[in-house]
Amino acid sequence: MRRVIYNYLLLTIIAFLGGACNEEKGIFQIRDHAFYLNGKSVQLICGEMHYPRIPQEYWRDRIRRAKAMGINTISTYVFWNIHERQPGVFDFEGQADLGKFVKIAQEEGLYVILRPGPYVCAEWDFGGYPAWLQQNEDMVYRSRDPKFLNACERYINRLGKEVGDLTISNGGPILMVQVENEYGSYGNDKEYLSKLRDMLRNAGFNVPLITCDGGGQIAAGSIEGVWPTINGSTGEDIIQTLDNYVPGGPYFVAEFYPAWFDVWGQPHSVRNYEKPAKQLDWMLQHGISVSMYMFHGGTNFDYTNGANTAYGYAPQPTSYDYDAPLGEYGNATPKYYAFREVIQKYLPEGEKLPDVPEENPIISFPTVKLAQSAPLSAAFTKRIKTRVPLTMEAVHQDFGYIHYETELTEQIKDGILVLKDLRDYAVVLLNGKYVGSLDRRHRQNKLRISVDEIPARLEILVENVGRVNYGEDIQNNLKGITDKVLLNGKEVEGWIVSPLPLYQADVRKFNWNDASVKGSPAFFKGTFHLDKIGDTFLDVRGWGKGAAWINGHSLGKFWYIGPQQTLYVPGPWLKEGENEIVIFEMEDQGCRTVCGLDKPILNDVRKDKNAPERETKYDEQEPILDRGDQIYEGQMEKNADWQTFMFNGKKTLRHLCLEVLSSYDGKHSCISEIELLDGEGKSLSKDYWKILYASTEQKGEGYADQLIDGDVHSYWHSQWQSTASHFPHQLIIDLGEIQVIGGIRIKLRNSQAAGCIKDFRLYGRPQFFLFRNRK
């Protein structure tokens, strides 16, 4: 059956190409277990690079460096959300001039694989989808939802008008076009994929189409008439897996990973070149075509980085260096030369790779004082009065920041301010003074606040730190305060909302003042003189969290937690003579100077002031659990569905102890999430819950807080590194107030993962549990 499908694919592609191509314009075919270019078999050695992540002035430079390493084909995603930022309004100019990028590749003698999605992932905001899709609350992305498909078709048709004439069949360099991206990891809707395939065909992309998926997801992600490729596999696994779908090949690894991307607050990703060089050697030796993801990563200029949520919210930084063979600023790394040496081995006899271009000039500049400032209000252009906070999408904003302001008229002592569903980072001000900040990465949504003088002005500045680009959470990507604000349990109403995209704002035209703003979000400006220009790296150590511009060009965002402590400044964005720097600071650290370094700092992780402090001696004490406090005893089934347990009568308590007596693996405990139910079976709010005690937790991966954070992707896990703790495992939760509960819902992490709990008990007290020292 698989060979029948294979033959059908082959005949479909050959028949299509036979009618669309001629000798003058070029023919790319998939036949006889090989890729054929103008009648000759060809092995594709591709390098992924993304035009928006490279300054337009350097597109040709980076492509020449790819050719010098041995790359013969450039692979690039197409990013819908930079081409259609508002519905029906398209941009294919300047940094978004995809056609120019493709033509430069052809001028330099390279071919192109186009990956237009419309979903691309790519550690890019919303996986490439435009934020305005979310204005339709009923729309379902990555599905056959007609509303979604209509938007996709409009984009794909316009894309065809822009670059459809650049296929190899029309005399251009585009050899193949990808349908969707790793869809098999998300779903298996063949009708949805087929509709996208047909849209691309109808838009004029008259070359072979491909899909790409992990080896285990090819069946779900492939469709008729489209050639399946594989991501991430190496060695014999490539052939063994692809033979199930395209017996005998040609085999194409559409994403070979020589390294990985970074995450804010975590060390820079680095992978030694030796092993990937050997893997590349094996593939080339066995005639396998390959695309390196990434060959050259570049930079997330403006605010285009994405985020993942598989293990909690984890946004990517501005640098997309990726530890790729060609570094962020076009620097040839040891990995570059190792790969170049491998590729040189497989060139036809007598052929030689072109010389590696000389490095671009690198400069530094001395300390510059940013002596002028402008308040946050200088960026206010639209003020919207509303009863409740509005999301970014509700005010037609995609990237940047959003400001909320209201007036409080009641005095409050030690109150609790709750930002329901905060996305993603908030700075809170009261009467212009900094109160605190909240970070979605740490599942923070509340802080203590006192209102002494009334009326009081409450301000909340929220940053979109990056929309989720992978997994089911792409369906839930609104930004700002996405629900409501509570103060001591009462909803706060009557807001003024100010969108602050900033990438659109001309920060150079603010009314600047020599009197420095202190202690609140603000803009700071300075100038410096250059006698010569070159690439440099803006040193932002000492600053807090914000963004920077140089001569009006956005350098992207910075964050003191690292790992990057510099921002890449492309030489073409500088000029001889006077240059201007503007920095936006969300949380004033008092720094007012910057300088330009001749090397980037990409691996300097610093202490995160928002990270919760953790107790490290839980195991020295244990709670005294009186049988009279026992409210339930039950047993979990070994599955990952929510499991509900109703009590025999309602229970009144403030402090709840969960005691795990056993698990299915006999060693560990692991729970994704719990909820308490009222007498009618409705879930109770967890806004004020707090973990008071955990007899065991796995540092870094399974903190007890993650049991009650509302995120089913995170989890509490008993200690498993070094020595596993013995049963029973106990957790105590403070509900914040005495509550009446009628039951509990528990969700395990994964039925196949270690630690699925089995037998458990619940204890409840209106007061604190007593403790005793462990013997």
Radius of gyration of the chain from its Cα atoms, rounded to whole angstroms: 28
Q: Is 162 a catalytic residue?
A: no
Tokens at residue 665, please? 């693996």
- Calculate ∠ Cα 616-621-622, nearest 5°: 120
Find the catalytic residue in 182, 393, 673, 697. 182
Burial 313-351 (b: 16+ CB within 10 A, else e): bbbbbbbbbbbbbbbbbbbbbebbebbbebbeebeeeee
Q: What are phi and psi of 690, to 5 degrees?
A: -150, 135
Q: Is 182 a catalytic residue?
A: yes
Residue 764 CB coordination number (10 Å): 20
Q: Which strand ranges, in their side-by-side order, compose the sheet holding 593-597? A: 365-369, 593-597, 536-539, 566-569
8-state DSSP, 280: H
Q: What are phi and psi of 536, to 5 degrees?
A: -150, 180
Instruction: List, in sequence order, every residue forming a beta bridge with 422; answer none if it has no partner.
Output: 481
Amino acid at 636: M
Q: What are phi and psi of 630, to 5 degrees?
A: -70, 130
Closest by CA position to 27, among listed 14, 9, 46: 14
Angstrom distance (rounded) from CA 757 to CA 660: 7
Closest by CA position to 504, among listed 651, 356, 401: 401
Angstrom distance (rounded) from CA 53 to CA 76: 11
Find the catalytic residue in 84, 255, 328, 697. 255
Angstrom distance (rounded) from CA 256 to CA 229: 11
Angstrom distance (rounded) from CA 395 to CA 499: 7
Burial label, 198 (beta-carbon count in 10 A; 0-12, 13-18, 19+): middle
What DSSP element (H or E) covers 176?
strand 174-178
Q: Is the dihedral of CA 304, 305, 309, 314 positive or negative?
A: negative
Angstrom distance (rounded) from CA 420 to CA 203: 43
Angstrom distance (rounded) from CA 7 to CA 401: 53
Taking CA atoms, 678 is separated from 311, 656, 658, 745, 761, in Å, by 29, 14, 18, 11, 19
8-state DSSP, 541: B
- Cβ-contact 28, 172 below 8 angstroms: no
Place of tokens 């790394």: 333
Active site residues: 182, 255
